[in-house]
């Protein structure tokens, strides 16, 4: 059983791995042992209320059914909006509305949202909020290394950021932060103290999830946050020895567990099983850490699943829709890490090429998994070309350019702050946009499939800052009515089609929905959603656990279809190491429209 000895427990990991379930289960365990426990969530897609089956507000409330347990949900979007107001309110009447709009957009990125929410929850550690009233505080989601490094720099707290707002677009004037640097330093020192704080890295037994955990672990170690443990959630054990599909799934999960990245092997490890029921409410959460309770719940479960299949159209139908009567166009797959963007992009590119069209497949993904998938194929269609936009190279060029322009008059502390600000994810997106623009232009004569695209925030930032869109408009000698910038091409639904990729689970769905709203702010409406790893598209499974998991997907799929997507397509769960050829084989018989 997990040893929970420190005062602060941080659970971190990608969306959909089970951070919230595990953080709540451990919070309940400690409360049952008599400790007074507070669970704090800073997840923008938080489902804390659903998991605890108890209302969770933006003020501390007791969790029903667990006397010693309390919870609070810090809404990062609300925190970020308040932060932006604190930045811009003093500027009203001093600078133009256009300038305020530009500053607001600069402060709309993921970095600002995280800094604002971290500023809120760090006050539980510094003693400014009610943190001292609790024996243990459990945080559902931990801050990234970028946030910690940026706020650790003394220059970030000096007048530099107020005098040079262009130098710190992530942070803005630090007068907007509620915490002082002195208090913040206390928080960072607490996070580094292994007797006070533990970080739990939550992953699934799959390659991309474990890679992400490995990267996070290394980043935490660099910052001196060394008290780490690894939790692998949702480990599948087959319940039907006759179900070949289930047996392959179990073998594949075990294979991934045997190949855990080297730095993770050094951490204390605990695994948690994939359960055939939704882990919602106190009793089910207790069972997550208690095998005996799991057996009791299963023994009293009488519901047999009669229908677990969905009627999602496959990628073959999506490809027909994309092509129509055309011989060119831009297709972009977007979504959070680990949902299957690269698989979807690779499969769609190959399938369009197999129909005789000229196709170019490219990626802006730093991990560049496209080549991994393509290497699974024996041979490629001759009319398919593949390359990658190297984010590191593009970001390096962009960083050097900005340092040369904005950093030349700064002192050492100022340059250090500017350099750290340029390490933000937003910078990388802006940097690759220039290389990305070339691919957009190419889409006017062939099909171009791009694995990962710029977010709505990046596009709006480029537009309001005038660094691309307006610059072209201002400096051209051509008739403006005949010009289409890359940004305008992305807004053109007849040329560009954005595909949002999600898993058939609540958290990834909510994250994709938030991304969709971000794109809509920039005037881009996604063409369709692609739901990856769907068990409900496999009709021939007999394993009881898998059937229940497939049945649970139906509710999520229905919500996507009814609330979020114009069109919805699916990729079935395939227990194969070489998943791309396995997926393409499904569509070899063109008469088969669905799985």
Amino acid 271: pLDDT: 95
Domain segments of the chain: what residues? 8-300, 315-392+435-586
Q: Which CATH class is domain 315-392+435-586?
A: alpha beta
Matching fold, domains 8-300 and 315-392+435-586? yes
Out of 13, 14, 21, 79, the active site residue is: 21
144 annotated active-site: no
356 annotated active-site: no
Q: Among 123, 144, 96, 114, which Cα is nearest to 42's?
A: 114
Out of 79, 216, 507, 534, the active site residue is: 507
16 annotated active-site: yes
Out of 27, 43, 316, 395, the active site residue is: 43
| 491-494 long-range contacts, CB within 8 A, separation 24+ | 491/522, 491/523, 491/524, 493/525, 493/527
Cβ(109)–Cβ(146) under 8 Å? no
Burial annotation 572-585 (CB, 10 A radius, 16+ → b, else e): bbbbeeebbeebbe
Instruction: From first to last of the 595 residues of the chain, give the pLDDT tens digit.
Output: 456 689 999 999 877 788 999 999 999 999 999 999 999 998 766 788 889 999 999 889 999 999 999 999 988 888 888 888 888 888 888 888 888 887 887 787 777 888 888 888 888 888 777 666 899 999 998 777 767 777 776 666 654 344 444 444 566 666 677 777 788 888 889 999 999 999 999 999 988 789 889 989 998 999 899 999 999 999 999 988 899 999 999 999 999 999 999 999 999 999 999 988 888 899 999 999 998 998 888 777 656 677 889 999 999 999 999 999 899 999 999 988 778 899 999 999 999 999 999 999 998 876 657 888 888 888 889 999 998 888 888 888 888 888 887 777 788 877 887 887 787 777 777 777 777 888 888 999 999 999 987 777 677 666 654 444 444 444 445 454 555 677 788 889 999 999 999 999 888 898 899 889 989 988 899 999 999 999 999 988 999 889 988 998 999 999 999 999 999 999 999 999 899 999 999 988 543 333 3
Structure tokens at 230: 């690894």
Cα–Cα distance, 434 to 344 (Å, whole number)? 24
Pairing state between β 61-62 and 69-73: antiparallel
Amino acid 84: pLDDT: 86
Q: Which residues lie below 8 Å from residue 3, measured CB to CB, with a gap of 6+? A: none
Element (H, E) at 531: strand 528-534
Amino acid 428: pLDDT: 77
The CATH H-level (homologous superfamily) assignment of domain 8-300 is P-loop containing nucleotide triphosphate hydrolases (3.40.50.300)
Q: Among 42, 98, 13, 31, which Cα is nearest to 68's?
A: 31
Cα–Cα distance, 5 to 144 (Å, whole number)? 23
18 annotated active-site: yes
CB atoms within 10 A of CB 67: 12
43 annotated active-site: yes
Helices (H), 193-340: 207-222, 244-258, 262-265, 282-288, 291-300, 315-323
Query: For residue 497, what are the β-bridge partners?
Result: 331
Q: Which residues lie below 8 Å from residue 494, measured CB to CB, with a gap of 6+? A: none
Ordered strands of the 136-140 beta sheet: 61-62, 69-73, 37-41, 136-140, 8-12, 197-204, 228-235, 269-273
Amino acid 161: pLDDT: 42
Out of 13, 15, 16, 338, the active site residue is: 16
Out of 12, 15, 19, 427, the active site residue is: 19
DSSP string, 161-214: HHH-GGG-TTT--GGG-SS-HHHHHHHHHHHH-TTTEEEEEEEESSHHHHHHHH
Out of 20, 88, 108, 424, the active site residue is: 20
């Amino acid at each position: 059983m997990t040893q929970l000895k420190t005062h602060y427990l941080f659970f971190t990991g990608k969306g959909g791995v089970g951070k919230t379930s595990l953080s709540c289960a451990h919070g309940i365990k400690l409360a049952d042992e008599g400790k007074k426990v507070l669970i704090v969530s800073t997840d923008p897609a938080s489902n804390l209320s659903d998991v605890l089956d108890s209302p969770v507000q933006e003020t501390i409330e007791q969790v029903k059914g667990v006397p010693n347990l309390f919870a609070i949900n810090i809404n990062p979007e609300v925190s970020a909006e308040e932060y932006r107001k604190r930045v811009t309110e003093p500027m009203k009447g001093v600078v133009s509305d256009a300038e305020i709009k530009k500053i607001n957009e600069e402060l709309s990125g993921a970095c600002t949202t995280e800094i604002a929410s971290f500023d809120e929850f760090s006050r539980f550690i510094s003693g400014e909020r009610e943190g001292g009233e609790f024996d243990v505080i459990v945080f559902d989601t931990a801050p990234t290394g970028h946030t910690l490094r940026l706020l650790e720099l003394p220059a970030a707290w000096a007048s530099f950021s107020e005098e040079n707002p262009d130098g710190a677009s992530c942070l803005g004037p630090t007068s907007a932060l509620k915490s002082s640097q002195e208090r913040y330093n206390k928080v960072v020192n607490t996070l580094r103290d292994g007797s006070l704080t533990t970080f739990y890295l939550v992953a699934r037994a799959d390659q991309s999830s474990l890679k992400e955990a490995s990267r996070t672990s290394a980043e935490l170690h660099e910052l001196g946050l060394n008290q780490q443990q690894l939790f692998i959630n949702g480990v599948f054990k087959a319940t039907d020895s006759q179900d070949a599909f289930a047996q392959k799934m179990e073998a594949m999960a075990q294979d991934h567990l045997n190949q855990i990245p080297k730095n993770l092997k050094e951490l204390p490890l605990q695994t948690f099983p994939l359960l055939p029921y939704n882990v919602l409410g106190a009793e089910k959460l207790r069972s997550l850490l208690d095998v005996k309770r799991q057996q009791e719940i299963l023994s009293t479960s009488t519901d047999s699943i009669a229908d677990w299949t969905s009627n999602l159209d496959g990628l073959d139908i999506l490809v027909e829709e994309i092509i129509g009567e055309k011989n060119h166009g831009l297709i972009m797959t977007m979504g959070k890490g680990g949902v299957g963007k690269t698989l979807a992009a690779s499969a769609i590119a190959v399938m369009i090429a197999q129909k005789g069209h000229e196709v170019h497949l490219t990626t802006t993904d730093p991990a560049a998994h496209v080549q991994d998938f393509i290497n699974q194929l024996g041979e490629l269609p001759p009319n398919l070309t593949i390359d990658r936009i190297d984010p590191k190279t593009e970001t390096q060029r962009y960083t050097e350019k900005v340092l040369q322009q904005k950093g030349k008059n700064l002192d050492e502390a100022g340059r250090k702050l500017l350099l750290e600000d340029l390490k933000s994810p937003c910078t990388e997106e802006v940097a690759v946009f220039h290389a990305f623009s070339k691919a957009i232009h190419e889409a006017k004569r062939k099909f171009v499939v791009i694995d990962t695209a710029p977010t709505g925030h990046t596009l709006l930032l480029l537009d309001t800052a005038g660094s691309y869109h307006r610059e072209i408009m201002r400096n051209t000698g051509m008739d403006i009515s005949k010009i289409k910038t890359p940004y305008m091409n992305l807004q053109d639904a007849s040329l560009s089609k954005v595909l949002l990729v999600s898993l058939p689970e609540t958290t990834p769905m909510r994250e994709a929905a938030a991304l969709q709203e971000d794109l809509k702010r920039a005037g881009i409406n996604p063409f369709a959603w692609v739901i990856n790893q769907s068990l409900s598209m496999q009709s021939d499974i007999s394993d009881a656990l898998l059937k229940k998991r497939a049945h649970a997907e139906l509710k999520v799929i229905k919500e996507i279809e009814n609330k979020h997507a114009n069109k919805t397509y699916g990729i079935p769960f395939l227990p194969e190491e070489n998943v791309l050829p396995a997926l393409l084989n499904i569509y070899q018989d063109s008469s088969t429209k669905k799985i």
